[in-house]
Structure 1
Amino acid sequence: MHMRKEKQATARMRHLFERAGFGATPADIADAAQSPVRKVVRMLFKQSESYTPFTIIDPEEYSPKKQLKNMAQNGMLDRESLKTRIKENAELVRDLNVAWLDQMASGKGALREKMALFWHGHFACRAQGRNGLVMQQYANVIRQHALGKFGDLLIAVSKTPAMLQFLNARQNKKNAPNENFAREVMELFTLGRGNYTEHDIKEAARAFTGWSSNIDGEFVFRQQAHDTGEKEIFGKTGAFTGDDVLTMLLNQKQTARYITGKLYRYFVNEQEDKQRVDTLADAFYRSGYDITQLMESIFTADWFYEPANVGAHIKSPVELLAGMRRTLGVQFDQPQPQVFVQRTLGQTLFYPPNVAGWPGGKNWIDSSSLLFRMKLPDYVLKAAEVNIRSKDEADVNAELLAKRGKNQFTTTINWDEFEKPFQRVNDEELPETLATYLLPYPLQPVQQQLLAKTLKPGQTHSERIRTLTAALMSLPEYQLS
């Protein structure tokens, strides 16, 4: 009986660490299993309280002003310098990508980074051309506000130069309104499709006129480009500004419902429990859109740990890679393979497919990506050579990733740390015990037979742990959390 309770507590903690972060080492899970869920959830929030901005790209060295100056020759833009600068910026975005992945895999502030990854898909923004620095700024904004008030996040991310550029806000002027930004703010960021009219969008676009950024990558409001006339939005009339529109959107309960539903589908289950989401959304609205309060309600709820919600989430490529790294303490010698994995599986940080972000769920799996997903543990754990082309070879990063050795996974793994909780587990119980830490479901007899075949006679206990770990991570169930 005691043994079964212990297993249940371990399975619960594995589920929590997977969903509220990117997994954990078996030692961390075993340690957390000794405490009540509430205490562990509080600890996760405590660990994510502080925030350190990324400073991979030096604002002095790579300021847009300095870049333009370096590219200009006799008052004209030099084409070769421009090409060099675009390539350099793509490399900087790649460095930023890997730095963020390192942060996710480190386990430090995992909940903040997991929330920021969700917001990256929600406030989807794509790196374009000469803008490594503005992508760093955008990443820092979503990381800084990831667990704060949704209203602060909405306003801050809407005013980032990266987002203004991506959604053509700078082309939105009083004599020629551009509706792109106004439409996405309503459809994707707040209300969801069908909860506004075309008239609301047209009028809101007028309110957002004048929103822009300067050459130093700072938000500016250009008064002369702003339409000061009266607008009619959501049945109200006034000389509204862009900030007024965001306030109006936050005042609508539908925004709380839309955001809560999306968070529930991402962190709990793609099949929404309407009543549950309605209750959470009401509390979210009443709290002034307090993200921490909402997520704490989710992670401490008994229903979060119900069997129907365990193993119901298909790991995104970034979750899969960061999770494997976190669990085993994996370090890559080179950055390229990590970007290669993301691109091959269809989720490259800072390159969402479009304004709606990554669709997620079953969309992560197709015949080519599934094969690569199943082989990934072998590539990572055995430093194998990969013979597969990544998707989107025409992407701006393709050139960078075409360097010699891009597909050679040279890794270091912290096996000593990983093996600690299994040192005294007898050989017979080893597969099932390892599975409790690595898989969302108990092992089936057919899986146990499969695992037994991977073991070789005369293996040491440590070798058995490593062989079984690689085999468990290659099972389809490891793709779920």
Structure 2
Amino acid sequence: MPPVSEKIQLQHLAWRAGFGAPLPVIAEWAGKRRKDIVNKVLIGPRKAAPAVVEVINESALPDYRKAKEMNAEERKKLRQMNRQGIKELNIAWTHAMINTEHPLQEKMALFWHGHFACRTQNVYFNQQLLQVIRENALGNFGALLTAVSKSPAMLAFLNNQQNRKQHPNENFAREVMELFTMGRGNYTERDIKEAARAFTGWGFDGTGHFVFRERIHDNGVKEVLGKRGNFNGDDLLKILLDNKQTARFITAKLYRYFVNETAVDEAKVDMLADKFYHSGYDIKSLMREIFMANWFYDDQHIGSRIKSPVELLVGMRRSIPLEFEREEVMLVFQGILGQQLFYPPNVAGWPGGRNWIDSSSLMFRLRLPQVILYAQELRTRPKDITPEMGEGQNYKRTLELNETLRRLYARRVNATINWDAYMQQYRDIPRERLASEIAGALLVKNTGAGKTLLDKYADASSRENYIKTVTIDVMCTPEYQLC
């Protein structure tokens, strides 16, 4: 097999460490040392924290302590504020991904959003958790784990607000061990019971901030994973981080997401996990190890991932700048394709891989560029978001969101498309090379979209129409679903 070309290697990096990159960026990277390119990808244009994605200010919040005293009209307004706010937060974060100058920061945040899967109908709690994830996405995993574990969103979702010494609630402790750190099978039921005692008293107050309620904390001696002591929640998280299985579990999950979903090299995961553990859980160092490795650019890994719905939508909009008349249509697209931000299917998050594809979603994926770029009517219904088990009073609100998405679906998708900005990158390409250059820029692996086939369906009436139609045709290929 011939070696992978430099251009394909760079495109592979651009997609795995972000949402793809246009020709000028790939051209700028060409010929540079891998170390310099990877450093730029990891650090971004400036060493600043990501801009806050905010749709509601803390000063505008109601006093949640008085929720039980609200009358029916006040409760209705609160539900409407939360429902509309979560939609706006979804759109705002999507725009941050589309417009970011540091794609890896947002790509990592998208990964952690699935890893720390959480559902809450409180817009402020969602906003808090998103900011914690975005700020720590490339930082220290221990700091990220602690901040997420102390977020009101997660404490509410996993019932730790009800975890008290008289009646320990094991839900939070179980998911922290099974999904966030060690993975199933690496602890006992007794470990969970004892860990739940350590987390007693962790909760949040009526203003939406973490509190430690000492009077309901179990001060007795606990034994977890062979260690004994009067542990609290912080102690318990440190015990989990001290266990090398946590580094192994997180590394394996990152490998599947960034390297290969199906062909996992266990020896490489072990090597990476060991370095991750001894770095003190430095996420950026782990990603540098992956992106610098020669094996990361092996042909077997290139084009092996099915783009998640959000990756597909964001990548398309980063390639071709556009604005929708109604940005809510992005929520409908997410609903049809099966990845509604802030609504993971369950506590384990989105399963990914081939689970993204079924008969209806695949047909829509292949038609999506035409729907957007030819302003076609949206005639595919979004999938219902299944209410999470135990959502209780939030069950009805999930059903209300489904109804909102259904009302939006049968609309024409009107978008203002900045074709001029897109055309600029092809201004110096001769006409006879346009089809292959466009396909080469949009696909990391091209097995079927050749010049002869693209020419057959292209509008050759003008250079502009030719570029537009070839671009849309390439985006409608099965290969465009892969990265």
- Would you say 1:91 and 2:70 are equivalent positions? no
- Would you say 1:429 and 2:420 are equivalent positions? no
Q: What's the TM-score, normalizing by structure 1?
A: 0.93
1:364 aligned residue: 356
Instruction: Render the CA deviation track for 1:202-248: whole Å, top value 9, x for unaligned.
Output: 00001100000001110000011111111111112111111111000
1:328 aligned residue: 320
1:352 aligned residue: 344
Q: Secondary structure at the match of 1:307?
A: coil
1:23 aligned residue: 20
Between 240-249 and 40-49, the greater mean CA deviation after superposition = 40-49
From 201, 207, 226, give the equivalent of 1:235. 226
The percent of aligned pairs where both chains have the same amino acid is 49
In structure 2, C-alpha distance between the alignment counterparts of 1:462 and 1:423, rounded to whole Å: 10
In structure 1, C-alpha distance between the alignment counterparts of 2:424 and 2:300, rounded to whole Å: 31
In structure 1, C-alpha distance between the alignment counterparts of 2:87 and 2:31, rounded to whole Å: 40
Q: Is the 8 A contact 1:11 1:437 kept in 2?
A: no
In structure 1, C-alpha distance between the alignment counterparts of 2:464 and 2:35, rounded to whole Å: 34
Instruction: Render the CA deviation track for 1:74-108: whole Å, top value 9, x for unaligned.
Output: xx432232123212211101101111000111132
Q: Is the 8 A contact 2:65 2:206 kept in 1?
A: no
In structure 2, C-alpha distance between the alignment counterparts of 1:455 and 1:315, rounded to whole Å: 26
1:449 Cα deviation from its structure 2 partner: 3.9
Structure 2: gaps (5+ residues): 386-397
Q: Secondary structure at the match of 2:146?
A: helix
Residues matched between the structures, number: 467
1:447 Cα deviation from its structure 2 partner: 4.6
1:15 Cα deviation from its structure 2 partner: 1.2
Q: Secondary structure at the match of 2:138?
A: coil
Q: What's the TM-score, normalizing by structure 2?
A: 0.93
Q: Secondary structure at the match of 1:428?
A: helix
- Would you say 1:278 and 2:270 are equivalent positions? yes
Letter in 1 for 2:366: M
Report 1 or 2 for greater relative contact order, CA contacts < 8 Å, sequence distance ≥ 6: 1
- Would you say 1:160 and 2:151 are equivalent positions? yes
1:60 Cα deviation from its structure 2 partner: 0.7
1:380 aligned residue: 372
1:402 Cα deviation from its structure 2 partner: 4.6
Q: Is the 8 A contact 2:459 2:469 kept in 1?
A: no
In structure 2, C-alpha distance between the alignment counterparts of 1:229 and 1:470, rounded to whole Å: 64
Q: Secondary structure at the match of 2:57?
A: coil
- Would you say 1:476 and 2:478 are equivalent positions? yes
From 87, 96, 102, give the equivalent of 1:103. 96
1:125 aligned residue: 118
Letter in 2 for 1:141: V
Q: How does 1:172-251 map to 2 (within 5 A)?
A: 172-251=163-242
Q: Is the 8 A contact 1:27 1:418 kept in 2?
A: no
Letter in 2 for 1:96: L
Instruction: Render the CA deviation track for 1:1-21: whole Å, top value 9, x for unaligned.
Output: xxx99x933222211111101
- Would you say 1:456 and 2:449 are equivalent positions? no
2:160 aligned residue: 169
In structure 1, C-alpha distance between the alignment counterparts of 2:317 and 2:471, rounded to whole Å: 13
Q: Secondary structure at the match of 1:310?
A: coil
In structure 1, C-alpha distance between the alignment counterparts of 2:226 and 2:368, rounded to whole Å: 54
CA RMSD of aligned residues (A): 1.9
1:362 Cα deviation from its structure 2 partner: 0.3
Between 38-47 and 14-23, the greater mean CA deviation after superposition = 38-47
- Would you say 1:298 and 2:290 are equivalent positions? yes
Q: Is the 8 A contact 2:382 2:405 kept in 1?
A: no
Q: Secondary structure at the match of 1:35?
A: coil
